[in-house]
Amino acid sequence: MPTVNEIGLYAAMSTLRAVRRLRPDPVPDPVLRRVLEAASWAPTGGNVQPWRVVAVRDEARKQRLGELYAERWASYSAQHRKLIADAPESVRERTERMLAAGNYLAEHFGETPVVLVFCFDPRNMAITDAKQGRISVVGGASIYTAVQNALLACRAEGLGCVLTTLLCECEPEVRELLGIPEPWGTAAAVPIGYPLLRGHGPISRRPVEKLAFLDTWGRAWR
Ligand SMILES: Cc1cc2nc3c(=O)[nH]c(=O)nc-3n(C[C@H](O)[C@H](O)[C@H](O)COP(=O)(O)O)c2cc1C
């Protein structure tokens, strides 16, 4: 298992995948501290750092988060399965693998050694696209940079992890459970722990030629 500093940044980024099967073994304090410190290095709009993270280790609170997560996962996965009913065989197979891993996570969410609940201050998100007449996404950029840093640090530490957002559907319950004050919101819950199986590894993404253009939209990057 690679440990911190033994993996290059590009190798870490290109093998950072959703790891949903985690062992309950504890994450040592120094390791968790490095993950949280990596999150703290993230850029935010105006360097306001309008985010905080609650590292949940308390068994009863994790248990409750697990129950809430499992309820949301049940309806999400049922919906998702319906959506892919007519998809090609290969897509259905890939999705079923993801759903099986997701079922495992939902059943064991509460046994995860640490759940990182990322919170944001809606008053300070530097939302420069607020008046565009569409959903705003810029605010999220002042917190998900921290989440991604934490995920990459987990990768470097040999910890499995997955960014989840289903608990945001029941933010009031999560807020009360963790004592998160108004008007702070929740952006993600990241269960972390040592992988039960192979952990991080190859990922499947669109090629850069499909994602990036040169000078104008649609112009091939060659
Ligand atoms: C915004 C966002 C929300 C996500 N929410 C969940 C979630 O609630 N539960 C879950 O199991 N995975 C969740 N994921 C993980 C994605 O399903 C996963 O990153 C994607 O399928 C790619 O998987 P891979 O990295 O293993 O290739 C989320 C990812 C993102 C970026």
Instruction: List pLDDT tens digits, range 194-213.
Output: 999 999 999 999 999 999 99
pLDDT of 2 higher than 90: no
Per-residue confidence at 4, pLDDT binned at 50, 70, 90?
Answer: low
Q: How far is the CA of 215 from the centre of ligand 1 (A)?
A: 30
By C-alpha distance, which of 106, 112, 114 is closest to 68? 106
Smallest CA separation from ligand 1 atom 11, residue? 102
The dihedral formed by the CA atoms of 188, 193, 196 and 197, expressed in degrees to the nearest 10: 70
Rounded mean pLDDT of the chain?
96
Sequence-ordered list of residues with C-beta below 8 angstroms from that of 221, at least 6 positions apart, any chain: 208, 209, 212, 213, 214
pLDDT of 19 higher than 70: yes
- Phi/psi of residue 78, nearest 5 degrees: -65, -45
**Signed CA dihedral, 46, 52, 2, 207: sign only:** negative
Mutate which of 17, 19, 84, 162 for ligand 1? The one with the most ligand atoms within 8 Å of its CB, which is 162
Phi-psi region of 206 (alpha: psi -120 to 50; beta: other; left: phi over 0): beta
Tokens matching residue 92: 């259905």
Q: How far is the CA of 188 from the centre of ligand 1 (A)?
A: 11
pLDDT of 24 higher than 60: yes
Amino acid found at 113 = P
For residue 17, the ligand 1 atom closest to its alpha carbon is 25
Q: Is 55 in the pocket of ligand 1 (CB under 6 A)?
A: no
For β-strands 114-120 and 185-193, DSSP reports them as antiparallel
Tokens matching residue 164: 């989840």
Distance (Å) of CA 36 to CA 31, 59, 80, 115, 217? 9, 20, 32, 12, 37
> Distance between CA 10 and CA 18 in Å, rounded?
17
Contact between residue 156 and residue 5 where contact means Cβ atoms under 8 Å apart: yes
pTM equals 0.96
